[in-house]
Amino acid sequence: MLALSYPVETAIKMGAVLAVIPVGALILVYVFLFKMMSHMQSRLGPMEAGFHGTLQPVVEGVKFLQKEDLIPNGADRRIFALAPLVVIIATFLIYAVIPAGPDLVISNLDVGVFYALAVGSLSVLGVLMAGWASANKYSLLGSLRAAGQLIAYELPLVLAVVGVVIQAGTMSLSGIVEAQAEGEIFGFGGIGNPYILTQFIGFALFVVSSQAELTQAPFDMPIAESELVAGYMTEYSGFRFLFFFIGEFATAFALSAIAATLFLGGWYFPGLGTDGALANLAGPIVLMGKIMLMAFFIFWMRFTYPRLREDQLQTFAWKWLIPISLVNIAVTGVLKVAF
């Protein structure tokens, strides 16, 4: 890697990540929300703007840019205006620790995955702010549902990661990728040891909980359109609405990236090595492939299953996922010490 001075290096990293996040979110919007959902429902989806509607996300963005920005009477104006910013900046901050190659990471924090989960849960604050400040019954109910759901599923999400941390012996995401790349399966080290093989229970817990954290169907009660119009987003219009929308997909992108890093080996591809130019060049492409795989799975669930009831959601988290994740931690710990 070239030796750059800190300000130059940071400026390049900021430019790259600020470009990658919206583009990544728009790719998810186009590929999964516009096209995959349409084809699963036997229709074509957008076809006019660009080849097979590829420019449709850009068109939507420009459309929202021209919309009037309405703040309802009686709303807490300052909090109302601030809430989408809290959500989207919390989402941006998750990307600081996701490695796209041996040297391609904004900041390789020692507490990597812990930081990512902590920052990721900040968006609950923005959701509560939005719901309360709107002075609208639908918004208030939606944000309370969102808060109840996000705290219930935060726990299995965090506890599912502990198994991976036990196996890798580090919380740094780069360290976890290297531990997987250097791992062996019963003495065979050809493909490393992606933790999905040994932590498949943790993987299942992580995927289910991230589905709930993203408030996607079957866990989309906070924005259930048939009951609450649009939940906490009901009163938002124009660009502030777009921030919530982009924030949702950017979070989906980030959680897919974290799942790919923790369980699928991240940027590592067997045979390409763990350092040097080749790994740095191929890393982002490999990671993108794994992200799309994870996102495909998440959105497949979203388009397939009907909505749960609020009490079923809480029961599922507290009576199933949390006990299972505690047992998973204990079993992983025993196996780690035994072997």
Partner 1 sequence: MSDFLRSYLTVAILGGAAFLLVGGLLGLGRLIRPRRPQPQKYIPYESGVDPVGTGWSQSQIRYYVFALLFVLFDVEAVFIFPWAVRLEELALFGLVEMIVFIVILALGLVYAWRKGVLRWV
Is residue 253 within the footprint of partner 1 (CB under 8 A)?
no
| Among 37, 71, 201, 282, interactor with partner 1 by CB under 8 A | 71
Q: Report if residue 59 touches partner 1, rule: CB under 8 A.
A: no
Which backbone phi and psi does 336 adopt, to 5 degrees? -65, -40
Residue 334's CB is within 10 A of a number of other CB atoms, namely 10
What is d(CA 295, CA 252) in angstroms, rounded to the nearest whole number?
Answer: 7
User: According to CB under 8 A, which residues from 152 to 171 bind partner 1?
Assistant: 152, 154-155, 158-159, 162, 165-166, 169-171
Positions in 299-338 near partner 1 (CB under 8 A)? 310-311, 314-315, 318-319, 322-323, 326, 329-330, 333-334, 336-337
> In the complex with partner 1, which residue's Cβ is closer, 110 or 275?
110
Structure tokens at 127: 């959701």
Minimum separation from the CB atom of position 60 to partner 1 (A): 14
Q: What is the dihedral of CA 207, 210, 216, 221, to 10 degrees?
A: 120
Are 291 and 284 a contacting pair, CB within 8 Å? no
- Indicate the residue type of 101: G
DSSP state of 232: G
Residue from 69, 182, 184, 275 touching partner 1 (CB under 8 A): that is: 69
Six-digit token string for 104: 């391609």
Binding of partner 1 by 146 (CB under 8 A) = no
Considering only the stretches 24-32, 198-206, 211-219, 238-246, report the one whose residues sit in contact with partner 1 under the rule CB under 8 A.
238-246
270 conformational bin, left if phi > 0, alpha if psi -120 to 50, beta if neither:
beta
- Pick one of 38, 54, 108, 274: the residue that binds partner 1 (CB under 8 A): 108
| Complex with partner 1: residue 162 or 288, whichever CB lies closer | 162
